[in-house]
Chains A and B, each alone.
Chain A
Amino acid sequence: MKLSRVSAVVTVAATIFALTACSGGSGTDNKTLTILSNTQNGTPTGDVQAKVIAAFEKSTGATVKLTQAGDTIPGVYETSLAGGKEADVVMVNLAENTNNWVKEGAAIPASKYLDSWGLTDKIKPEALDAWKDAKGDVQGFPYSGFVWPVWYNMDLLNKAGIQAPPTSTDELLADVSKLKAAGIPPLVIGGVDWSGQKLFLQIAQMYMTPDETTTVYSKGGYCASPNAMKGINLFTELRDAGLFLKGSEGYTSDQMNAAFYDGKAAIMSAGSWAFGDAPAALQANVKLGGFPIPDGGSYDKPTAFQGYTGGGFWVSPNGAKADKIDLVQKFITAWYAPAVAASWAQASNAPTAVIDSGSGAPIANLITAAAVNDLPKAVDFAVMPDTVVPGTLSDAMIRQTSVAFAPGTNAQAICSGLDSLYAK
């Protein structure tokens, strides 16, 4: 009786396996292309992605398997690579872990294909530069850009008697007093996450040249660099003067956006991805600019970030194989058509890395329009930390910079906390 019971269970199990066995894994026939993307469904850019995929399937007769994994893409991709089952093409930004992919052989450098696919002339040179690694290879195909300005709610500033956004830190300090007198919190930031980290690093580099910044941010040595210490002291001075909305050190970037959209603070530093969500009523009131600069600092105009590392295409070892590479080429080059680039630029409210991506259509979103038309003249662009901070440190660094936003943390504690990250 026992035996027959066991065999019954085994039979059932085997049947179940057999029934459900046809599933999973990336397609092995050469008519399927597997994409791993961090662009989600249901967003404007997700809609563009869906259209491109549909058009591609129609014109090539191939099937596209789209998988998404948000910000767990590095973990998912790397483990699937270990199992030989990685996607053919990955669509993700150049930041953190992806900085190591070409070095580790997890991706084939785009420079191998740029010329033969005729894309070199279609991509902005500064974008190609941004995607180069230490050896000079372009790691992935640059695609998405971003700008990251400081947003000023002129309505609230006017209420406090301020007529124009501050351009120097002296003006900023004066404005902070006026805003506090009017009961308006000056600046809100997501102290807890990457948005706080970027703002901190933006202020910390105010006295350093781009080269110095690159050295310190990639190798450490904050306490030992006099100019870095000047920047950190500037940060603590601004913080202690009441620049940040109370509790900012506990805010995430989503909460920062929500607070600013709701008129709860006069200033925020946020990237172009937030342009689309800004309420229509607010758009007319917002002026874009940079972060005010100190006297004797290394920049001439208020600073903001911009870059072309916001998104791009990576070719995996699977994708580079002879039976897939043609499909991969067709898929990637499809994105660089002017019409596609234009629709992506519009959906993402930011410039793309594609040279010919303007259709000349008027931009509906007032903030995006300001970013395209007015911002470049008004600001200098600072060193974007994501391109120089080592990928494996960024997570720990975000935890350290969040400490910096807490009132009472002194500059020495901040710099030694940062230095300890690079010590290993």
Chain B
Amino acid sequence: MAIKSLPDVVVATPQRKSRENRVKPALLGLSLPAILWYLAFTIGPLFAIFYIALLDWPGFIAPSSFVGLKNFQTMFADPVFWQAARNSLVQLAVVLPIMLPVSFMVGYYVSLKPRGHRILRVILFTPALISLAARSIVFLSIFSPTGMLNGLLRGVGLDSLATPWLASQSTALGTVMAVDLWSGIGFTAILFSARLSSIPEEVMEAAELDGAGQWRRMWGIAYPICHDYFGVLLMLQFIWMFFASAGSILLLTNGGPGNSSTTLSFLVYNKAFRESQIGYSQAVGVILFAVGIAGMVLIRRAFRPKY
């Protein structure tokens, strides 16, 4: 039956590599359409970002002029830029170490198919189903001064903790991060459970016979098997948060109050579309790209399976 041929799966891949270093035309052909598409729609614009970063371009309908590295000089001297950099860093350093392990554990839980797991799957995917606009209205109501959270706090007598979460410099960024966690955990957990469910049953059964409890099985067996995948999801969340947080920040706090919840990705959007400084915006984009590469390399290093 199926099970007999499985034990190799876990360690199969690495040993095959040495035999396949030649380029195979058929394989190349299969990936060509994707590569071409990608070049046209992704790589092209990427180079454009670098070029536009060298222009002074005050708005789409205004003329642009070449100013070399001036945007970068302005940027490095701008305290808002450094605050945005700090905020981005804080966001990553706090959210990622919480989100990934928690998602892994929740994903593991779901893959055990406990009672109610079907409903759970649907619920966990919900944040991904709600569009950004709807999500922001909901959270604006939850975190508003008279919203649900404060209502709850007052209800249990913790009045002093009831602050305007999104409008206070000390809590705005934290609130945005909480929303990040809310939306990220559910569906990252689903992604994990997809991978975890394809771990062969007998590996887990063997561990069970050895008397290993769920916790040990989760971290001692499942995690090493999914090590690589964990790294991929970590990388994805890193990229999503680092680059794409602009949307949710725009709708929740608009980067404020002051600049307390402005991150680098929000700065890119704001500079281009609200403050009409397109060249400057793309310069921040270049920095984003550079840091992104550095981050990606770091993560890959940490999570690459060793051959």
Contacts and interface: CB of A to CB of B under 8 A. Distances in A.
* In-complex A–B contact (CB below 8 Å): yes
A393 B277 CA distance: 11
Contacts, number: 94
B248 interface: no
A417 interface: yes
A81 B140 CA distance: 34
Interface string B23-36: 00000010000000
A406 B167 contact: yes
Interface string A75-112: 10011011000000000000001001100111000000
B144 A417 contact: no
A21 interface: no
Given A81-B60, A395-B275, A191 B167 contact: yes
Interface in B235-279: 254-259, 270, 273-277
Contact of B140 (A100, A252, A403, A420): A252
Given A395-B275, A403-B169, A249 B60 contact: no
B44 to A, nearest CB: 17
Contacts of A192: 166-167, 256-257
A123 B3 CA distance: 85
B82 to A, nearest CB: 13
B145 interface: yes
Given A2-B29, A100-B59, A250 B256 contact: no
B258 A78 contact: no
B62 interface: yes
A398 to B, nearest CB: 8
Nearest to A254: B140
Contacts of B146: 247, 255, 259
Contacts of A105: 61
Contacts of B165: 250
Contacts of B59: 78, 97, 100, 104, 392
A399 interface: yes
A399 B255 contact: yes
Interface string B166-192: 111100000000000000000000000
A382 B257 CA distance: 26
Contacts of A250: 144-145, 163-168
Contact of A249 (B79, B140, B254, B257): B257
Contacts of B150: 247
Contact of B61 (A78, A259, A395, A403): A78
A143 interface: no
Given A81-B60, A97-B276, A104-B62, A247 B254 contact: no
Nearest to B30: A2
Given A255-B146, A395-B275, A402 B257 contact: yes
Interface in A277-301: none
Interface residues of B, number: 32
Nearest to B275: A392
A78 B60 contact: yes
Contacts of B164: 247, 249-251
A341 to B, nearest CB: 31
Nearest to B150: A247
A424 B61 CA distance: 20
A105 B63 CA distance: 11
A364 interface: no
A51 interface: no
A18 interface: no
Given A81-B61, A249-B164, A392-B276, A403 B270 contact: no
Interface in B153-168: 163-168
A403 B61 CA distance: 32
The number of chain A residues touching the other chain, given as a range, is: 35 or more
A79 B61 CA distance: 8
A395 B254 contact: yes
Contacts of B273: 75
A22 interface: no
A159 interface: no
A75 B145 CA distance: 31
Contacts of A398: 254, 256
Max chain A Cβ within 10 angstroms of own Cβ: one of B61, B165, B259: B61
A396 interface: yes
B276 A403 contact: no
A246 interface: yes
A181 to B, nearest CB: 20
Nearest to A396: B275
Interface in A285-334: none
A400 B165 CA distance: 17
Contact of B145 (A106, A251, A392): A251
Nearest to B26: A2
Contact of B257 (A82, A100, A403): A403
Nearest to A255: B144
Nearest to B270: A395
Nearest to A82: B60
Given A2-B29, A192-B257, A251-B144, A402 B61 contact: no
B154 to A, nearest CB: 12
A420 to B, nearest CB: 8
A399 B275 contact: no
A402 B164 CA distance: 12
A246 B145 contact: yes
Given A247-B146, A259-B146, A406-B168, A399 B60 contact: no
Nearest to A191: B167
Nearest to B254: A399
Nearest to B171: A250
Given A246-B145, A248-B145, A249-B164, 10 more contacts: A81-B60, A192-B257, A247-B146, A247-B164, A250-B163, A250-B167, A252-B144, A392-B276, A399-B259, A402-B257
Interface of B: 29, 58-62, 74, 79, 140, 144-146, 150, 163-169, 254-259, 270, 273-277
11 contacts: A75-B273, A78-B60, A192-B166, A192-B256, A247-B145, A248-B145, A249-B167, A250-B144, A392-B59, A406-B257, A424-B277
The 3 closest A-B pairs by CB, nearest first: A250-B164, A247-B145, A250-B167
